[in-house]
Amino acid sequence: MNQVFKNHPDLTEFFQTSDGQAFYTENAARTHARTLKNKTVVLVQKSDQPEETKPAGKTVKLPKKNKERDELVARYAELYGKAPSANSKVETLKKRIEEKEAELKAQEASKEAESSENTEAQEASKETEESEENQNSDEVEENIETENTEADETED
């Protein structure tokens, strides 16, 4: 009999990953299997276990999970930094992902607008400085011309 069943006599089944880890729930086993090269998860049932004198028991391979859901779970985890609850429906995952992506786009647009406003403010400030410099330059030239005219009149 399998050591897991010996250690947990009330247990009727468990899920085992390719690295030999045993899990009470399929979801936990699949989550762990994502980190492995061989992602196989096998259902091991107590009824399939032979007596001590018989060779190893038969295992039942579980069908593949919904690929779309697995992709959505991965995207959700990427966006939120944590996995969604195990019983989340595909529609719910899609909705939450769309909401988060829209939120991120809005934040990005806000940052771009803020950056654009800062650039415009800097350009306006530059234009003001240049205008003031030009005005000061014009006044200096006017003063020089006035001085030159007065000097010419004094010489005459």
Pairing of strands 13-17, 41-45: antiparallel
Verify that 88 and 120 share a domain, yes or no: yes
pLDDT given for residue 53 in this prediction: 46
Residue 142: what pLDDT? 65
Domains identified in the chain, total number:
2
pLDDT band at 57 (very low <50, low <70, confident <90, very high): low
Angle between helix 90-155 and helix 67-80 axes, rounded to 10 deg: 40
Residue 135 within a domain = yes
Domain that holds residue 7: 1-64
Q: Is 55 or 15 the better-scoring residue by pLDDT?
A: 15
Confidence of residue 14 (pLDDT cuts 50, 70, 90): confident
CB 44 within 8 A of CB 18: no
**Is 28 part of any domain?**
yes
Over residues 36-50, mean pLDDT: 81
Asked if residues 30 and 2 have their Cβ atoms less than 8 Å apart, the reply is no
pLDDT (tens digit per residue) in 113-123: 887 777 776 77
Strands 22-23 and 60-61: unpaired
